[in-house]
A and B are shown apart, each in its own frame.
Chain A
C-alpha cells in the first residue's frame, strides 16, 4: 500500500530512561502556562490582565500581524501571572486552574460537511491554529495560505522519543476527524510518514485520500522535514504545512466535542527519572509536581527539558510543558572539570565517532550529561555533518552562507527545506562545537525578513 523509503544517514543516540508504556494520571495541576516563546514568527499581543477570570478556550493573546490567530487558556481559572523578560518580552502567561470546568463553546460537527472557510475559523477560534507549522521557516502557519501539501509524521525517532501510537491509542476517531478537517485546507495531499510499527496500526492508516510512506533507518527519519524532503522537496515559493499527530487528534476533538479538550499525554523520561512513563495531563501544565520524588541522583543538578535532548528547551524544575512537546526529558547537568578528559580511553564517554573505546559497545544505553565536552573552534573536520544529515543539501556550506549573511547563496543551497530540528544531530556530533541550530535560526529569520514575509 505504501512506499518504503530507507534513510541511510543519521544517528540513533541510545539514552537511558526510555518511557515504559504505562500512563499515570496525576492530580489536576494547579498552574498551567502558555508561552509565546514556544512559537516562531509571531508577535504576541496580550489580551488578558492579571487576576482576570478565564474559561477553557478563552484567548490569552493573539498575533499582532494576524489577530485571528489566538492562543487560549487550556484550563478554566484565573490569570495568576504575566511574566515578561528583557524589553518587556512576553514569556509566560500563567493560569491558576479553578475547580469548575467551563468552556468557551465552539461548533460541534463533522468537518466532512463543513466548507474550508468554516474549518479554518473553527481551528483559529479553538486556539489550535498555532499547531500548524509552515515550511519554509518553521513558523506558525498563515491562515490565508493554501498549502501545497500537509505532512504529518506519525513517529518520533529522536532520543527517547514518545510513541504516538501509544499516546493516541484511544483517540483513533479524533485523529481521523482531525485528518478530515486538515484535508480541506490544502490543495494537495495529506502525507503521513510511518515507521514499521505505526504502519501496522489502524490508527494512522486507512484514511481516505491520504498518501502513506514508510520510513526506515535512524533518526532523523521521523522528522517531518526529512520525510518531506524525500517525498516532495519544497521549492522556492511553495508552502507546505506540518502538524504533529497529537495536535491533529486535538483538532479533531474540538470538532467532535464543540469545545477545546486540552488533555495532553507526554512521556516523562530521561536518565534521572525514577519511573520513566507516560503522563496524561493538560497542555502547558507545570511539571514541578511531577518531578518531586521522581529524580534520582540528587547530588547532580537535573536539567529539565521540554521536548527531546536535541531540540527541546530548558524549562527548569518549575517550568511548564511546551506547546508542541510530547515528552519531558530530565538529564544531569554537566558542570564538572574532566582531568585530561580528551586523552582518556573513554570507556564511559559516548561518541558517534569511533575515537573513544565506548564505541566497542554499540548497543549500550548512555547517561549523557549537558557538558559541552570541548571548546568551540572554527570548522575543521569535514564529512561529519553529512553522516547524520540525510538530505541532498550541503550543511556546512549552507551554514557558512548564513554566517556571512549571503541571502542568494542560502536560497541556492536549500535553506527553505530545513528547520532547526533537521540539523540538530549535526550540532550534536560537531567536533568544533558549532551552534548549528542557532545559526540556522538566524538564517531563517534573516531570510524571512528579506522576503518580506
Chain B
C-alpha cells in the first residue's frame, strides 16, 4: 500500500520536472531519485521482447555487498589497532572497537559519497543525462583504500579530482580510462605524500601524537618488509586474517576473499582477472625468491598475496570492467601483468612501498592495447580464412 502512495506522490510531482515544468532544470536529479525508488515501467520496443532482470544498479549493489566484509573488518581493525597503540586491552570483536572504528571510518565514507554524488548529479544535469550508478561503488572504494588518519578535506579533494578528471571529462561511467578510486588515492599519494606514507598514518590518532606505548611503531608489515625487517612481519595466517595496520579495507585477505567469492559466484567480477593477478604476483615473487639479492626478495613469495593492498587490488580494482581488459583472452594477460608489475614495483623500487596501485593504473593504460592485439588476431584469422577459401576455389 505504501508503495502505491509513494508512486502517486511521485506521479504528482513528475510534471514539474518534465519539459516546460517549473523545475525542469532538476530533471536528471528527479529521474535519479525516481529510478532509485522504482524500476521504470518502460517496456521493450524493437528487438527482444523480454529482458534479463539485471541492470547496472543491481550490479553495483552486488559489488557493494561484496565490499561489506572488508568494510566491517576495517572498522573493527581501526578500533582495535587504536586501542593496541594505547596499550588498552580490548578484544578484536567488541562494541568498543566497532564504536571507535565506526566514528573514524563513517565520516570518510560520508565525505566520499557526498562529494562524488554531488559532482555526478551536477554533471548529469549539465549534460541532460541520467545519473550513472558507477559512483555507488567508487564512493565506497575510496574510503577503503585510505589510511584512517587521512584528513576529511583531503578525502573530499581527492574524490572531486577522481570524479571530475578520472571520469566526467571522459564522458562518465563506461568511458573512463583510469580506475577512479585508484586515481583518488594516487592523487593524494603524490600531492600530499606526508599524509599518505610513513608509519604514523595507519592507526587512528597516531598522527596527532596520541600516546603510543613503547616499542609500537605503527608501521605496516609492508613498510617493515620494504625496510628489510622481514623478521618483524607476522606469519602468513596472521597476515591473511589481517589484524594489522594498513589502509582501512585492505588488511584482511580473508574478508576480501569472501567478497571475491560473492563477485565470482554472481558472475559480476571476472575470476579470470583475479586468478591471473594472483598468478602474476606468485610468478614474480618466485622469480625474486630465486634472485634473492636481499632479505625482502628472500621473503616467501606467497606472503605477497596477503601483504599490503595486493588482495584488495586483485579483487576490487583490477576487475573494474571499464578500465580493465575487455576481451576474455586479454583479461588473462592484463591480470598477469598487474600481479607481476605490482610485486616488481613493491620489492625492487625503493620509493614506493606499495606497487599494486601503480601497477593497476599502468595496466589501465595498456588494457586497450592488449585488447587491440587480441581482437587483431581474430581479424587476422578471418582474413586468412578468406584468402585460403579464395585460393581453394582457384
Contacts and interface: CB of A to CB of B under 8 A. Distances in A.
A392 B171 CA distance: 30
Given A355-B59, A374-B55, A397-B375, A235 B40 contact: no
A379 B48 contact: no
A339 B3 contact: yes
Contact of A392 (B50, B55, B134, B378): B378
A371 B52 CA distance: 9
Most chain A CB inside 10 Å of its own CB: which residue of B3, B52, B270:
B52
A333 B56 contact: no
Contacts of A413: 375, 378-379
Contacts of A379: 174
B contact residues, range: 35 or more
Interface residues of A, number: 73
Most chain A CB inside 10 Å of its own CB: which residue of B53, B61, B328:
B53
A353 B46 contact: no
A414 B326 contact: no
Given A370-B49, A396-B326, A424-B48, A339 B37 contact: yes
Interface in A350-364: 350-356, 358
Interface in B117-133: 130, 132-133
B39 A341 contact: yes
A338 B327 contact: no
A346 B53 contact: yes
B52 A352 contact: yes
A312 B49 contact: yes
A331 B379 CA distance: 40
A329 B48 CA distance: 13
A153 B117 CA distance: 52
Interface of A: 13, 233, 235-238, 303, 305, 309-312, 314, 329, 331, 333-343, 346, 349-356, 358, 368-375, 377-383, 386, 392-394, 396-397, 412-414, 420, 424, 427-433, 435-438
27 contacts: A235-B382, A305-B49, A335-B43, A337-B7, A337-B38, A337-B40, A338-B38, A339-B37, A342-B39, A342-B57, A343-B61, A350-B53, A352-B54, A353-B52, A355-B54, A369-B50, A373-B39, A374-B56, A375-B40, A380-B59, A380-B322, A382-B327, A394-B378, A427-B51, A428-B52, A431-B58, A437-B48
Given A382-B321, A397-B371, 18 more contacts: A311-B48, A331-B50, A349-B53, A353-B268, A354-B265, A354-B267, A370-B50, A371-B39, A373-B52, A374-B39, A375-B130, A377-B132, A380-B322, A392-B381, A424-B48, A431-B55, A431-B59, A438-B47
Interface of B: 3, 6-7, 35, 37-44, 46-59, 61-62, 130, 132-134, 171-175, 265-268, 270, 321-322, 324, 326-328, 331, 371, 375, 378-379, 381-383, 385-386, 389-390
